[in-house]
Structure 1
C-alpha cells in the first residue's frame, strides 16, 4: 500500500457501502453517496472485496469512485 496511500487516509473509514435487496450497491464517501453499482458492476465489486481486509476494501472503493472531487467543494460548516 506504501505509495498508494501516502496521507494514510484509507486507514480511516472514509468509504462505506450498502447493499440493497435487488443487489444494488451504494458507495458513500464520508456519509455522502458518490456512486451506485448495479448488474455486473455490483457482482464484480462484491467479488473484488471478498476476503479482503479493511484497507484493501477501502482502496477498491476509492478506485471505483474515481476522481469525483475537484477541489471546489464546500465543507458546509
Structure 2
C-alpha cells in the first residue's frame, strides 16, 4: 500500500481543518479535534491524517468483501 502524502492541517480556534492537495478533506471540532492533534503529534502525521479523513481506502474493499472466501 502506498504511503499517503499531500495532507496538511490547520488549527482554527476549536476546530481543525485537514486539507489534501489544497482541497478541504475534513473538519474536526471539539473533543475529536483534541484527539486528532494528540495523535498527529505522536508521529506519522500523513498516515494519521489519511486515516482520520478516510482517504486510506483505495477502492478494492468492496471487491474483497464480496469475494466468496470472505462472505462468511
TM-score (norm 2): 0.68
TM-score (norm 1): 0.64
- 1:32 to 1:69, Cα distance in 2 relative to 1, 3 A: farther
Compare the two structures and name the one with the higher helix fraction.
2
Unaligned runs of 5+ in 2: 60-72
Compare the two structures and name the one with the higher strand fraction.
2
User: Which structure 1 residue ranges, 4+ long, deviate > 4 Å from structure 2?
Assistant: 67-71
Matches within 5 A, 1:1-77: 6-8=1-3, 10=4, 12=5, 14-20=6-12, 22-52=13-43, 56-67=44-55
**Paired residue total:** 59
Aligned alpha-carbon RMSD (Å): 2.4
Give the structure with higher Rg (CA): 2
